[in-house]
Amino acid sequence: MKLNNIKIITSILLVSMVVLNGCKKEDLPSKTVTVSQPTITLIGDPVVILNVGDTYVDQGATYYDSLYHDNGTLSTSTEVNTTEEGFFIVTYSAKNKYGFEGSGTRLVAVTGASDLLDVSGDYARASNGVPAVVTKIGRGVFLTDNVGGNSGNDPAYFMFTSDSTMVMPTQFLPNSIATVNFVDPVYDFTAVPVNYSYSIDNPGFNPVLRVFEKQ
């Protein structure tokens, strides 16, 4: 009698295990998302140079995601104050439906510098000899191809609010993937050779003074 009871209990357990296994939750299908950032295209000039008191009218930008076929127009929340000299980086950004972001920038310089001012040319960092090339973008606006004076080769903009006063706005460095502030930028026209200098305020950079001499 006991043996029969044991057989019955064993059979019930086996049936229960089969039923539970049969009710196992099915795996949900996975989905692969391809990374694609919208491309930002500026409407109008990428560099706008104004005199103090001029009116700045932003022309906006467009975005297009070729993979997900998403497009539209963009405006910016960056404020440009033309009542005094200054350098503004106007930013536009857009995200696709998966949250991948694309961005673009326009440079707006409000300056009293003369168009005759030209500090472009070949420079080298005084402490290590690493070269940097400065290119004139427009009246009072210049671009260095190596703002750190090292192997990173990060480009950055600087401008002159007058023929003697150099300024550098906070800006994003694409190779270092960092937003940096520039402290005490100066162009010394009286030095031999002439040079420009500043220090970089960012945890990823040594805060020493960086001096670049014209070659």
SS (H, E, C) the chain: CHHHHHHHHHHHHHHHHHHHHHCCCCCCCCCCCCCCCCEEEECCCCEEEECCCCCCCCCCEEEEECCCCEEEEECCCCCCCCCCCEEEEEEEEEECCCCCEEEEEEEEEECCCCCCCCCCEEEEECCCCCEEEEEEEECCEEEECCCCCCCCCCCEEEEECCCCCEECCCEEECCCCEEEEEEEEEEECCCCCCEEEEEEECCCCCCCCEEEEEC
Mean pLDDT of the chain: 86
Contact partners, residue 81, CB within 8 Å, separation at least 6: 88, 110
Strand order in the sheet with 101-110: 47-50, 101-110, 86-95
Confidence grade of residue 105 (pLDDT, cut at 50, 70, 90): confident
Length in residues, the chain? 215
pLDDT of residue 5 exceeding 60? no
Predicted structure pTM score = 0.74
How are beta strands 101-110 and 47-50 bridged, if at all?
Answer: parallel
In tens, the pLDDT along 31-42 reads: 666 777 888 999
| Tens-digit pLDDT profile for residues 137-168 | 999 999 999 999 998 789 999 999 999 999 99
Chain centroid to CA 66 = 21
The owner of tokens 């127009």 is 73
Instruction: Give me the pLDDT at residue 25, please.
Output: 53
Cis peptide before 193 (omega within 30 of 0): yes
Q: Please choose, from the candidates 102, 92, 88, 105, the residue with its C-alpha nearest in 3D space to the C-alpha of residue 46.
A: 105
What pLDDT score was predicted for residue 187? 98
The larger pLDDT score, comparing residue 215 to residue 78, is at 215
pLDDT of residue 152: 72
97 pLDDT band (50/70/90 cuts)?
A: confident
